[in-house]
Amino acid sequence: MYQNGFQGVGVREIAQKANLTIGAFFYHFPTKNHVGYAIIDEFLSQGIWDRWILPLKNFDDPVEGIIRTFEKTFEEWPDEFVSRGCPLNNLGQEMSAIDPEFQKKAKELLSSWFQKTKTYLDLAKKKKILKTKTDTMKLAEFIVTFQEATFAMGKVMNDRKVYDSLYLSFRDHLLNHCN
């Protein structure tokens, strides 16, 4: 699915990769779309938590943590994934207009990501790292959107050099919100 898109893979192929018979597949998933819902609910949500949220607990300065996590993510992103982009963005873009449940689940996951990021920004504000006038929800939405856009730009350009340029813009924008 990551390589060919959700619609580019069939039930037989999914079942085969999962070592399931077609009957076992349909026992667990009434439709192929239910596999996509499970991917968002279980796999992608955990991936976002592990990549973007959990690392922040290791930083006394949440803004520094967000910047370093961004930098580390794009440094470590495997070359073979550069042309594929972000799995959540891909699945959401491909399926949201076709299936309202995909749109709902992608929106819920993004909203949760915004909220979790905001929690760390609120902590930074409390620690007087962020300027008092900073709207932490708007900044959280910017951060998540910029992270997703960076994956998208890397995918379209199929060039990891774009990550370096975007990292500098990301870092500078966040630092402009700091005291």
pTM over 0.85, yes/no: yes
What is the residue type of 175?
L
- Specify burial of residue 168 (Cβ count, 10 A radius: 0-12, 13-18, 19+): exposed
Which residues share a beta bridge with 178? 130
Is pLDDT of 123 > 90? yes
**Tens digit of each residue's pLDDT (9 = 90 or more) over 17-62:** 999 999 999 999 999 999 999 999 999 999 999 999 999 999 999 9
